[in-house]
Structure 1
Amino acid sequence: MRFTTLLASLGVVAVTAAAAHAADVELTLSHWVPPTHPLQPQGMEPWAESIKEASDGRIEITIYPSQQLGAAPDHYDMARDGIVDIAFINPGYQAGRFPIIAAAELPFLASNAKGGSRAVDEWYRQYAAKEMSDVYVCMVHLHDPGTLHAKSGPLAVPSDLEGKSVRPPNGTMAQMFSSLGAANVQVSAPEMRDALDKGTADMTGSPWGSLFTFGVQDTVKYHLDVPLYATVFAFVMNKDRIDSLSPEDRKVMDEHCTPEWAEKMASGWADAEAAGRQKIIDLGDHVLHKPTPEEMELWHEAAAPTVERWKTGAQKAGIDPDAALSDLKDRLEKYDSLQGQ
């Protein structure tokens, strides 16, 4: 009887101890890349741990990778509707829905994702409440510049896209590829390999390291060796959830939703993507084409209508596109991340 009483007492102590260590606020963070993707171990996990430490353990974030809670294009609505607390989104997966932030995806704009992420985050804060009013925009960042990768060549000038099927990385680049006579195959990055393997897509837009992340390094053999574009991402949070936090916990979250944290979030991923180019070269059976000055002029001419289309969309969204784009370029230049500096 005493032994039973002792066990019961120990059980009460164990439950009490567990309760004492339980977080006051438990948040879900959903994303759609693999858990091995640099963004999780080098970005999301340190961010979540920093939030836990800053809140003295009150805030605990559980990360759900690989589309466990929903498909990649649905993540904005998942956060908006409270299906998840925090979502990692690619705004370009829903072409035309977020026309202002698409400026960061314009071709030949950002030169790197580190300073570029800080610049874009700073810039978009003045528009976030206007364009994404039904969520709390925590931070915005880029991936390192990507380019085109094809199963067969040549891949040197814009006319090489004519009649081809291309998986675009975002809606902005889809518009450019379409204008060059390509057919867009709208699938997310996790579906890229399937599209290429089945022949649905002849080529894909991707940063270098992601060719290995998503297993297509042996499928695409021809590469346009130029920083063609960057894709913009955001971490957004359900508004009711963040508004429900205590003032001290809200302060912790706000202090982890900054341009500085946007750069930290992007940095590990940026290094991994940049290293992917040399990994492709080391495979030995790939063709990387560096455009000549004359070919680069053709690419810039091909990109010009995409910029004008963005301006038209941004103006319809209620902003001055020339002023906004000039401001974005100034911020990119400030952080040494503007192409052509």
Structure 2
Amino acid sequence: MKLKALLASAGLAAFAATAQAAEVELTLSHWVPATHMLQPGGMEPWAKSIGEASGGRIAITIYPASQLGAAPDHYDMARDGIVDIGFINPGYQPGRFPIIAAGEIPFLVANAKGGSRALDEWYRQYATREMKDVYTCMVIVHDPGTLHGTKGPIQVPADLKGKNIRPAHATMARLVNSLGAASVQVPAGEMRELISKGAADMTASPWNSIYTFGLQDVTKHHLDLPFYVTTFAFVMNKAKIDGLSPADRKVMDDHCTPEWAEKMATRWADAEAAGRQKMIDAGNHTFYKPTPDDVNLWKRATATLQGEWEAAATEAGVDAKAAWANLGETLKKYGADVK
């Protein structure tokens, strides 16, 4: 009854009508707005393709905006069967998923399209170990993001000292702390409230998400540098997918691939990249373009993060140096390595 009520309130009647006629009804829960390009540009086409490939046997109902639970809880929600499919940011739970955190290291992933395909392909060899409680369907990243603040300058690492900064994930939280800033970690949906109340001076975000989450009037200063990406995953309740018929299981497996990871990320990536030009056109934003020497300062400031990741991955039972090399090779294969 609770799900039906939420469905009605979300205005998702089209999905509901399909679900009621299907043999397998799946819930997909996420925590960004329904208008966020990830839903109309990624999740909805994916769900439609699954419905068509199954001949209408499988229907997916999408619940956006944390309707079914808080953003950091989505892995456990899928594990426990509260939802069938959860969209997760592993970095919202520091230390829990050290292997996939490789994707969080700045200056590693050059673009979201090839980057999503590469990270998904690379992580498949580790997913059953690190996310053993669920079925990991796919891994994606967003278009490279940067730092956005209420005041400037934001050009070199020293500009972060003494600031309160909302990081995108645990790796960035460690970075800003090492630079003399204080990290204030909240999910993306809470960025505006955090900054408008003065509890943070800066936030990490891809460009258009500043508009999506309503920060364009409070963050007017921007580090004009492709700095980092965030890793995300779609994870599914194991009992649910293991209980599917062989034909339906094949449909789901065919939609949980590196190719689908790239498709899922593509329209979102284009939308995020367009946000920078939107700010330029608005004319009331200040962009701080680092010089080559400034970029070297940023790279020097982030240099210890790879070693920290290797230590954590080794503790998790991974040959970290080989894994890191393989990740670099896979990114290069799909044109997503930083030159």
TM-score bin (small chain): over 0.9
What is the match of residue 88 of structure 2?
Answer: 89
What is the match of residue 307 of structure 2?
Answer: 308
What SS does the corresponding residue of 1:125 show, helix, strand or coil?
helix
> Which sections of structure 2, spanning at least 5 residues, go unmatched?
1-16
Q: After the TM superposition, which residues 58-69 of structure 1 pair with which residues of structure 2 at under 5 Å, given as runs?
A: 58-69=57-68
Q: Deviations over 1:64-121 (max 9, x none)?
A: 0000000000000000000000000000000111000000111001010001100000
Q: CA deviation at 1:21?
A: 7.4
Cα distance in 2 for partners of 1:159, 1:270 equals: 29
Q: Which has the larger radius of gyration?
A: 1
What is the match of residue 126 of structure 1?
Answer: 125
Taking structure 1 as the reference length, what is the TM-score of the superposition? 0.93
Cα distance in 1 for partners of 2:19, 2:174 equals: 54
Cα distance in 1 for partners of 2:19, 2:69 equals: 32
Q: Deviations over 1:193-213 (max 9, x none)?
A: 000000111000000010000
What is the match of residue 99 of structure 2?
Answer: 100
Cα distance in 2 for partners of 1:19, 1:233 equals: 27
Q: Percent identity?
A: 67
Question: Which letter does structure 2 place at the counterpart of 1:176?
Answer: L
Cα distance in 2 for partners of 1:254, 1:283 equals: 44
What is the match of residue 189 of structure 1?
Answer: 188
What is the match of residue 291 of structure 2?
Answer: 292
Q: CA deviation at 1:294?
A: 1.0
Would the aligned equivalents of 2:24 and 2:57 in 1 still touch at CA under 8 Å? yes
What is the match of residue 260 of structure 2?
Answer: 261
Taking structure 2 as the reference length, what is the TM-score of the superposition? 0.94
Q: After the TM superposition, which residues 16-35 of structure 1 pair with which residues of structure 2 at under 5 Å, given as runs?
A: 22-35=21-34
Superposition misfits of 4+ residues, deviation over 2 angstroms: 18-21
Cα distance in 1 for partners of 2:180, 2:310 equals: 22
In structure 2, relative to structure 1, the CA distance for the partners of 1:259 and 1:154 (3 Å cut) is same
What SS does the corresponding residue of 1:127 show, helix, strand or coil?
helix
Matched, 1:338 2:337: yes
Cα distance in 2 for partners of 1:233, 1:328 equals: 16
Question: Which letter does structure 1 place at the counterpart of 2:266?
Answer: S
What is the match of residue 80 of structure 1?
Answer: 79
Cα RMSD between the aligned structures?
A: 1.3
What is the match of residue 203 of structure 1?
Answer: 202
What SS does the corresponding residue of 1:242 show, helix, strand or coil?
helix
Q: Deviations over 1:284-341 (max 9, x none)?
A: 111111111111111011001111111111111111111111111111111111111x
Would the aligned equivalents of 2:19 and 2:25 in 1 still touch at CA under 8 Å? no
> Which sections of structure 1, spanning at least 5 residues, go unmatched?
1-17
Would the aligned equivalents of 2:85 and 2:234 in 1 still touch at CA under 8 Å? yes
Would the aligned equivalents of 2:19 and 2:61 in 1 still touch at CA under 8 Å? no
